Amino acid sequence: MHIIQVTVFMTALFFSTNTIAQVGQNGKILDANLADIESLQSTLSIGAELAEAIDEGRPYLNAQQLDTVLLRFLTAEERRDVYGHIFRQINLNQASRSAIMLIPNMSERIAHEFEEYRPYSSLEQFRREMSKYVDAEEVARLEQYVFIPLNLNAASEAELMTIPGMTSRMAHEFEEYRPYVSYDQFRREIGKYVDDRELSRLESYVTLD
C-alpha cells in the first residue's frame, strides 16, 4: 500500500512540475547567453576566438543571432553539430521557419507541425500535439530547444523561475511591480536591477499578451 501511495505521489509530482514549466529544460545543452567561455571551449571543443565571439555577441534574443555569429567560423554541418550542445531557445509562438530548422535533426514536416498548432499556451500542449508525430523521447529532445513566453502579469513565481538564469530575488521584483501596462514600464522597473543586455534577455521570455 505504501509503495503504491509513493508511486502515485511521485507521478503526480512529475506531471505537476512539467505543467509549471513554460521554458524547456535543457540541462545537457548550454544556454548561449549564460555559458562561460571555459564551458564553451570544453563542451564544444572550439578555439578561444570562437568562444570569445560567442561571448561578445550576447545577448542573443533569438537563434538566428547566434547562427549569424557561428556562420563566420563554421560550416552548416559544423553548426548543426554545435547546436546539439549549445543553443538559444526559440519562441514557439513567434519563431520563423528558418529558426525552427536550426534545431538539430529537424525536418520540414515537424517544423510545419510546430507552426500548425500555434498559439501554444503551455509546454503540456506542445507535448500533446508533438506526440502525435514522434515518440516521447523525441518530444523531450525537441522541448529542450523551445519556450513559451510568460505573461508578465499572470506568471507564478515557479513559472518565472523556469527562465534561464532567473533568481528568486529577480522573480520577486518581476511580481513586485505588477500590474505591467507596457514594456516600457517593465524596462524601467527591472532596469533598476540589471544592465541593458540582461534586461533585453529577460524581456525576450515574457509577454503582455
- 57, 88, 119 - which closes a domain: 88
> Does a structural domain hold residue 178?
yes
pLDDT per position as a tens digit, 115-148 = 999 999 999 999 999 999 999 999 999 999 999 9
Span 87-104, pLDDT tens digits: 999 999 999 999 999 999
Range of the domain at 72: 27-88
Q: Is position 48 within any domain?
A: yes
By CB neighbour count within 10 A (0-12 exposed, 13-18 middle, 19+ buried), where does 146 fall? Answer: buried
pTM: 0.86
- Structurally, how many domains does the chain consist of? 2
Say if 102 falls within a structural domain. no
Q: Which residues, other chains included, contact 194 with Cβ-Cβ below 8 Å and sequence gap of 6+? A: 170, 202
Which regions in the chain score pLDDT beneath 70?
A: 1-21, 26
Single out the residue in 69, 88, 107 at which a domain terminates: 88
Helix (H, G, I), strand (E, B), or coil: what is residue 31? Answer: strand
Question: Does 200 reside within a domain?
Answer: yes
